């Protein structure tokens, strides 16, 4: 079975590799350099000669738009899905001949994907053709009405006592700082990895991302700090006045890959479920609601445009019998 795209370690040769369009690329023994080389390869994929009205040409145009107008992380997400899908269709498949069955065949071939990943994969291709419709490349999207699997809700909730045990099992300060920041602020993982000293407003105890640096690029993102996070932020600013604040033991900025490796090792050590930074963000929101923070205020703290996401994603709290009884008593005065 061919490997999925992404960086992986070839133990027999002691180096990192990746497979793109069925071709293996050797990236070297240094993880940081391997990641850098991987992103360079992904940013400059080998292009096929395709007709202007082909599926591939529409996707290429959409990717070019994303590269120029979206965040690098967003562009990489679309690029990974687009390359994976393109490997399963004829090079010159016309837009008029594209059918949902082509998408379904691609999705069915991803045996290791969860429903959430499949949902995202279909959505990524649908967005490319919705964009092409708005831009006037095509009259309508032939896959607009395709059904998508229902993504599962993030169920992992870490309690305060569990988080204390997790931190106790982590010996190095950099990883403890990163997890503490996720727990104390509820920030998105990409925000934790992006924050620098220039974003810090100590006078108002907050991090501030300009609109251009925020998710959606519609308004500035403000992350408010607890006293514990103010102390950590001050220490990191002194240590790293330039560049990213959160760095590993080698003083290199954390990456999604390096964080994933640490969580894998933590899982092996503890024997429990594998965690992720989003689980801590999810836990932040859950404990805030349980502590009586109203959804509108919480939406602002978490960087949501309104309370809709809070109500939809965290509706499981309405099934908490004891909490509902307590809220009913408060409502009655």
Half-sphere exposure of 229 (CA within 13 A, CB side): 25
* Residue closest to 157 by CA, chosen among 316, 47, 302: 316
Under the banding of pLDDT at 50, 70 and 90, the label for residue 2 is: very low
Higher pLDDT, 267 or 3: 267
What are 202-236's pLDDT values in tens digits?
A: 999 999 999 989 888 889 999 999 999 999 999 99
Of the options 1.10.443.10, 1.10.3300.10, 1.10.287.1770, 3.40.30.10, the CATH number for the domain spanning 160-280: 1.10.443.10
- With a cut of 60, say whether residue 4 has pLDDT above it: no
- With a cut of 70, say whether residue 137 has pLDDT above it: yes
Specify whether the CB–CB gap between 16 and 7 falls below 8 A: yes
Q: What percent of the chain has pLDDT over 70?
A: 87
Rounded CA gap, 206 and 187, in Å?
12
Under the banding of pLDDT at 50, 70 and 90, the label for residue 3 is: very low
Specify whether the CB–CB gap between 169 and 269 falls below 8 A: yes
pLDDT at 201: 97
CA 64 vs CA 78, 89, 131, 143: distances in Å:
11, 20, 12, 21
pLDDT at 114: 86
What are 7-28's pLDDT values in tens digits?
A: 877 776 778 888 776 567 788 8
* Statement: the pTM of the whole predicted model exceeds 0.85: no
* Residue closest to 69 by CA, chosen among 129, 131, 137: 131
The encoded tokens of residue 181 equal 């920041």
Specify whether the CB–CB gap between 70 and 86 falls below 8 A: no
Instruction: Answer positive or negative: Cα dihedral of 253, 258, 260, 262.
Output: negative
The encoded tokens of residue 292 equal 């009586």
| Geometric angle at alpha carbon 207, from 285 and 296, rounded to 5° | 35
pLDDT at 88: 94
Higher pLDDT, 259 or 6: 259
In the chain, what are the domain boundaries?
A: 8-135, 160-280
Specify whether the CB–CB gap between 143 and 100 falls below 8 A: yes
pLDDT at 27: 85
CA 84 vs CA 80, 215, 239, 257, 313: distances in Å:
6, 25, 41, 20, 29
Rounded CA gap, 261 and 254, in Å?
11
Q: Classify 41 as helix, strand or coil.
A: helix
Under the banding of pLDDT at 50, 70 and 90, the label for residue 192 is: very high
What are 151-174's pLDDT values in tens digits?
A: 766 567 899 999 999 999 899 999
**Cβ neighbour number for residue 42 with a 10 Å cutoff:** 17
pLDDT at 18: 82
User: Which residue in the block uniquely carries the two structure tokens 């309370």?
Assistant: 307
pLDDT at 319: 58
What are 271-302's pLDDT values in tens digits?
A: 777 789 999 999 999 899 888 888 889 999 99
Specify whether the CB–CB gap between 93 and 102 falls below 8 A: yes
Region 70-94 average pLDDT: 90
pLDDT at 1: 39
Specify whether the CB–CB gap between 110 and 103 falls below 8 A: no
Helices (H), strands (E): how many in the chain? 14, 6
Specify whether the CB–CB gap between 88 and 109 falls below 8 A: yes
pLDDT at 29: 84
- With a cut of 80, say whether residue 245 has pLDDT above it: yes
């Amino acid at each position: 079975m061919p490997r999925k795209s992404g960086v992986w370690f070839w133990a027999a040769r002691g180096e990192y590799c990746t497979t793109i369009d069925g071709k293996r690329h050797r990236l070297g023994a240094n993880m940081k350099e391997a990641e850098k080389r991987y992103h360079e390869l992904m940013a400059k994929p080998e292009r096929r000669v395709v007709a202007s009205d082909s599926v591939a040409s529409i996707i290429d145009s959409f990717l070019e738009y994303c590269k120029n107008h979206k965040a690098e992380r967003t562009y990489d997400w679309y690029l990974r899905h687009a390359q994976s899908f393109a490997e399963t269709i004829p090079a010159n498949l016309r837009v008029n001949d594209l059918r949902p069955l082509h998408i379904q065949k691609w999705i069915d071939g991803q045996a290791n994907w969860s429903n959430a990943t499949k949902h995202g994969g279909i959505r990524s291709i649908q967005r490319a053709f919705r964009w092409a419709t708005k831009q006037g490349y095509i009259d309508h999207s032939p896959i607009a009405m395709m059904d998508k699997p229902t993504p599962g809700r993030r169920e992992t909730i870490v309690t305060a006592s569990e988080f204390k045990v997790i931190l106790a099992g982590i010996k190095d300060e950099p990883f403890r700082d990163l997890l503490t920041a996720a727990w104390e602020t509820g920030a998105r993982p990409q925000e934790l990895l992006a924050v620098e000293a220039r974003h810090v407003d100590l006078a108002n105890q907050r991090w501030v991302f300009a609109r251009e640096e925020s998710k959606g690029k519609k308004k500035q993102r403000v992350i408010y700090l607890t006293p514990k996070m103010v102390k950590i932020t001050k220490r990191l600013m002194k240590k790293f006045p330039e560049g990213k604040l959160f760095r590993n033991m080698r003083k290199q900025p954390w990456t999604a890959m390096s964080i994933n490796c640490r969580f894998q090792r933590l899982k092996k050590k503890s024997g429990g479920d594998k965690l992720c930074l989003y689980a801590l963000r999810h836990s932040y929101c859950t404990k805030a609601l349980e502590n009586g923070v109203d959804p509108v205020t919480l939406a602002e703290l978490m960087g949501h445009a309104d309370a809709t996401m809070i109500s939809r994603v965290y509706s499981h709290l309405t099934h908490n019998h004891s909490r509902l009884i307590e809220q009913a008593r408060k409502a009655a005065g």
